[in-house]
Amino acid sequence: MAAVARYTWEEVATHNGKNGSSIWIVYKDSVYDVTKYIHEHPDGPDSIMEVAGKDSTKDFDAAGHSSDARHILAKLKIGEIVEEEKKYDANGKKKKKVVAVPPGKNARSCCNVITCGLVA
């Protein structure tokens, strides 16, 4: 079986339809070439162009697409995001972000800054 092509977010971003480039979107870390499809899109090309070169997962789900739409999407897959830049785990669940807190700072002190700002 052929290996799955892997792309970085930086590379995906260059496929935003500008300057004649092709149009890629990402859904749950899979990369899709939608260049030929956008003019067939029932809602018109604009909604797809807004997420061209980007992660479309939230917007695609928010539009409440049918299983037909998901079927079409599946056929347009060209690869996946490189493992180290993936946003979803193997079960399709969003990975938790590990937020590094600088030494001496914590969420509480951050809140205090805001509170102080409000009462000042």
Count of CB atoms situated within 10 Å of the CB of 41:
15
Q: Nearest approach, Cβ of 88 to ligand HEM (angstroms)?
A: 17
Cβ pair 15, 21 in contact under 8 A: yes
Q: Which is nearer to ligand HEM, 30 or 100 (CB)?
A: 30
Q: Which residues bind ligand HEM (CB under 6 A)?
A: 25, 32, 34, 37, 41-43, 47-48, 50-51, 56, 59-60, 63, 65-66, 68-69, 72-73, 76
> For residues 12 and 48, which CB has a smaller minimum distance to ligand HEM in the complex?
48
At residue 66, φ and ψ (nearest 5 deg) are -75, 175
Closest by CA position to 41, among listed 22, 60, 58 = 60
* Smallest distance, ligand HEM to C-beta of residue 90, A: 23
Closer of 11 and 45 to ligand HEM (Cβ): 45
Q: How many CB atoms are closer than 10 A to CB 88?
A: 15
Q: Which of residues 44 and 117 has its CB atom nearest to ligand HEM in the complex?
A: 44
**How many CB atoms within 10 Å of residue 24?**
26
Q: To the nearest whole angstrom, how small is the minimum distance from the Cβ of residue 6 to ligand HEM? A: 20
